[in-house]
Chain A
Amino acid sequence: MSSGTSLYDQIAELRARYPDPRSAILPALQLAQAEHGGWLPEEALRGVADAMDVTPAYCLSIASFYDMFHTEPVGRHVVEVCTNVSCALSGAQGVVEAFERELGIHAGETTGDGNVTLRTVECLGGCGWATVVALNNRHRLHVRAGDVYGIVKELGE
Chain B
Amino acid sequence: MTPGGDAGAGVRHTADTVTVTIDDREIEVAKGTGLVETAAEAGIEIPVFCYEPRLGPPVGACRMCLVEIEGLPKLQAGCTLTAQEGMVVRTAATSERAAHGQQGTLEFILVNHPLDCPVCDKGGECPLQDLTFRYGPGSTRMRFPKLTFDKPIPVSPLIALDRERCILCYRCTRFSSDVAEDGQLIARNRGAYSEIATFGEDPYRAPFSGNVIELCPVGALTSTQYRFEARPWEITDVPTVCGLCPAGCNIRATTREGAIKRVQSRNHPEVDGGWICDKGRFTFPAVRADDRVREPLARGELGLAPVSWDAALDRAEELLRGARGRIVTALSGSETTEIAYGLGVLVRRGLHAHSAVLHESTSSALDAFRTPLSTIGAAELVVVVGDDEILDRAPAVDLWIRRARRNGAEIITIGARGTMRTAPGGAAEALQELLASRSALGKRLRASEHAVLIWSGAGGGGGARLAEVADALGFAAKPGCGAFHLPATPNARGVAEAWAAAADEDEVEVEGIGLLVVSGDEAASDPAVRALAEKADAVLAITMFHSLVVGWADLVLPATAALEREGTSMNLEGRVQRLRRAVTPPVPDELAWLAKLAGRFDVALSPYPAVVFEQLSERLYGGLELGQLGEQAPLPARAPYIAPAPAHTDAQTAHLDAVEGHFVGTLRLLRYTPLFSGPEVERVAELQFQRPEREVALAAGDADRRGIATGDMVTLRSNGTSVELRARVDRKLVEGVARIAEEHAADLHLDVEVVRV
Contact = CB atoms under 8 A, between A and B. Distances in A.
Indicate yes or no for A touching B, C-beta below 8 A: yes
Interface of A: 42, 45, 54-58, 60-61, 64-65
A61 B186 contact: yes
Interface residues of B, number: 15
B202 A60 contact: no
Contact of B184 (A42, A57, A65): A57
Contacts of A61: 186-188
B130 to A, nearest CB: 30
22 contacts: A42-B200, A54-B183, A55-B184, A56-B200, A57-B184, A57-B185, A57-B186, A57-B197, A57-B202, A58-B177, A58-B183, A60-B186, A60-B197, A60-B199, A61-B186, A61-B187, A61-B188, A64-B188, A64-B189, A65-B188, A65-B189, A65-B190
A46 to B, nearest CB: 8
Contacts of A54: 183
Nearest to B193: A64
Nearest to B177: A58
Contacts of A42: 200
B199 A55 contact: yes
Nearest to A66: B190
Contacts of A64: 188-190
Nearest to B187: A61
A56 B184 CA distance: 8
Given A42-B200, A60-B200, A65-B188, 5 more contacts: A56-B202, A57-B183, A57-B184, A61-B186, A64-B188
Interface of B: 177, 182-190, 197-200, 202
Interface centre among A54, A55, A56, A60 (most CB of B within 10 A): A55
A67 to B, nearest CB: 8
B525 to A, nearest CB: 34
B188 to A, nearest CB: 4
B153 to A, nearest CB: 14
A44 to B, nearest CB: 12
Nearest to A57: B199
B200 A58 contact: no
Nearest to B183: A55
Contacts of B188: 60-61, 64-65
A64 B197 CA distance: 11
Contacts of A57: 183-186, 197-199, 202
A16 B200 CA distance: 29
B189 A58 contact: no
Given A54-B183, A57-B183, A57-B184, A45 B199 contact: yes
A66 to B, nearest CB: 8
Contact of A56 (B177, B185, B187, B199): B199
A132 B732 CA distance: 52
B678 to A, nearest CB: 27
Contacts of A45: 199
Contacts of B198: 57
Closest 10 CB pairs of A and B: A55-B183, A61-B186, A57-B199, A64-B188, A56-B199, A57-B186, A64-B189, A58-B183, A65-B190, A61-B188
B450 to A, nearest CB: 25
Contacts of B190: 64-65
B419 to A, nearest CB: 16
Nearest to B190: A65
